[in-house]
Amino acid sequence: MRVSVVVPVYNPGPYIRDLVDSLREQTLDPAEFEVVFVDDGSDDGTPALLDRVAAEAPNMRVIHTPNSGWPGRPRNIGIDAARGDFVFLSDHDDRLDPDALQRLTDFAIEHGSDVVLGKVVGVGRPAPTAVFARTVVDAQHDPALLMSTLTPQKLFRRAFLDEQRIRFPEGRRRLEDHLFVTTAYLRARRVSIYADHPIYYFVIRDDGGNASRRPVEWRGYFANAAESVAVVDAEAPDEATRVVMRRRWLRVEALGRLRGTAWLGRGQDREVLFEAVHDLLAQHYPVGEIDLLGANDRVAGRLALDGRQDDLQAFAEWEATVRVRPRLTAARIDLLTDQLELRLSADQRATVPLPPVLADPPAGYPAGDDVAGMQRVPASARAEVRLRHVGSGTVVKAAVRQRVEDGVLHIDATVDLAGTPALLREGRWSVIVAVRGVGKTPSDPLVVRPEERGLVAGTEVRVAGRRFLLGVGDARRVLLRVEAAGPVSRLRSTAGAVLRRLHLR
């Protein structure tokens, strides 16, 4: 048998049905895979549902266990019971692509992989993207890439897990998947990334009750994070790998929660979180390692290490005002091609001065200019430009070309008016700009300053019985107005099109 899909289950209600359906729809021969549901003492009718599912499908079975309350034990029970050459771990409220098991196991067999990360897609919830930019056979040589995803929804060679005695820690604890996956990364002969086709879908539940969501007790959380750090310290093959892998818990789990809106949005647990991060840094991260980070992370790390919560609050309030600000630099409708053309630039700026701790920083802290310089737009930023119909909400995407120079994003966007049927809808279309992957990324109507109105005034074209007029509307928003052209206008539009073709020849 090729693969066992292990699914820990606890009170999923109807949300398990999509997973079950996706497993029934697998293109891999049912004789080549099994599904092991490990019911962790559900009391919502799920045990009976799973028994019916297993009765209808010879390759599906259920193991009923008393409630442990946490996913480590049911996952271990499933791994121990698995009969496949590989084990794939799934949550009970997500789903697999129909080709998932066929593609993953074919790939793992071809390349001799101990661990394969299959492409994950978010459905209403975030999913990692950079790690799945391309397929990589030997991904263990890029630990920074691997450490961007430590969730367990991956394919593991069962003999490898048994030989290395890799199992989940059990009991009431956090980040059990981090310890399991990190250990596998460090001990595997080959870790691969399969990005040629979607494999697994993270699905948001409409009741907000996904399997991984529980209130957090921060001291225990960071004590569990420290266990993964200790594994890296003990087993990383060299110092460079060790520092890169450790950085995951420093930046994402610890400092990421102390910065900007992430910190300001915290409730009454703010002080406990701050103290827990302080303890993690003081015990496991020397100042020299913190100082390898970017300026803003260095500030948060230094403030946490020094116990300066009030200054951290001021820094977070300043960071929260940093946002991307798109500006229109040119706009027209090309009368020869019937294309709407927009040229924009976008940078990041704060709306308030730096807090005193950065205006005159203590010894060892980044200078204020270094922190302000971190507002530069990174090369990884991605722009989206859309037209949205005011009223119906219909959206048309523009084709975008972009480049980043000196920390400023430059955007050229075009929309083919003649070749976009949706734009025949009469009314006003608002230009919407979004910049992804950097700071606060609003998706707002494009607004011009009073002195920039002339950039968009008086440009129009008549196409397919419609009159397209680019201008500035209420609240200085850039708008494309679409109106019926009328018989005479249509005649003029046809004549204009003929003349344009002649001119192009």
- CA–CA dist 23, 34 (Å, integer): 9
What is the longest distance spanned by two Cα atoms in the chain? 81
Helix, coil or strand: residue 174: coil
Does the reported pTM lie above 0.85?
Answer: no
- The fold for domain 3-203 equals Spore Coat Polysaccharide Biosynthesis Protein SpsA; Chain A (3.90.550)
| Mean pLDDT within 311-315 | 94
Residues β-bridged to residue 440: 323
Q: Which backbone phi and psi does 150 adopt, to 5 degrees?
A: -120, 15
Give residue 104's pLDDT band: very low, low, confident or very high (50, 70, 90): very high
- CA 243, 246, 252, 258 torsion-angle sign: negative
Is pLDDT above 90 for 256?
A: yes
Task: Collect all residues with Cβ–Cβ distance below 8 Å to 109 and sequence separation of at least 6.
Answer: none
Residue 500 binned pLDDT confidence (cut-offs 50, 70, 90)? very low
The tokens for 276 are 């827990």
Structure tokens at 153: 């929804």
Q: Is the pLDDT of residue 268 over 70?
A: yes
Question: Does residue 92 have a pLDDT over 80?
Answer: yes
Q: Are strands 478-484 and 466-472 parallel, antiparallel or unpaired?
A: antiparallel
- Domain 3-203 shares a fold with domain 323-504: no
Instruction: Label residue 166 by pLDDT band (50, 70, 90).
Output: very high
Rounded CA separation 57/55 (Å) = 6
How far, in Å, CA of 211 to CA of 77, rounded? 18
Other Cβ atoms less than 10 A from the Cβ of 68: the count is: 19
Average pLDDT over residues 170-183: 95
Residue 209 half-sphere exposure, CB side, CA atoms within 13 Å? 9
Whether residue 95 is predicted with pLDDT greater than 60 in this model: the reply is yes
pLDDT for position 439: 59
pLDDT of residue 161: 98
SS3 annotation, 45-94: CHHHHHHHHHHHCCCEEEEEECCCCCCHHHHHHHHHHCCCCEEEECCCCC
Using the predicted structure, report yes or no on whether residue 485 has a pLDDT greater than 90. Answer: no
- Among residues 169, 197, 305, the alpha carbon closest in space to that of 250 is found at 305
Residue given tokens 């367990």 in the structure block: 152
pLDDT digits 0-9 by tens, 15-50:
899 999 999 999 999 999 999 999 999 999 899 999
Q: Distances from the Cα of 176 to the Cαs of 95, 306, 479, 480, in angstroms?
A: 21, 29, 51, 52
- List, in order, residues 6 or more apart from 187 with CB less than 8 Å away: 160, 164, 166, 235
Q: What are phi and psi of 417, to 5 degrees?
A: -65, -40
Homologous superfamily of the 323-504 domain (CATH): Immunoglobulins (2.60.40.10)
Q: What is the pLDDT of residues 426-440, one digit of tens each?
A: 999 999 998 887 755
Question: Cα-flanking dihedrals φ and ψ of residue 383, to 5°?
Answer: -100, 145
Boundaries of every domain in the chain: 3-203, 218-319, 323-504
DSSP secondary structure code for residue 153 in this structure: -
Q: What is the mean pLDDT of residues 145-159?
A: 96
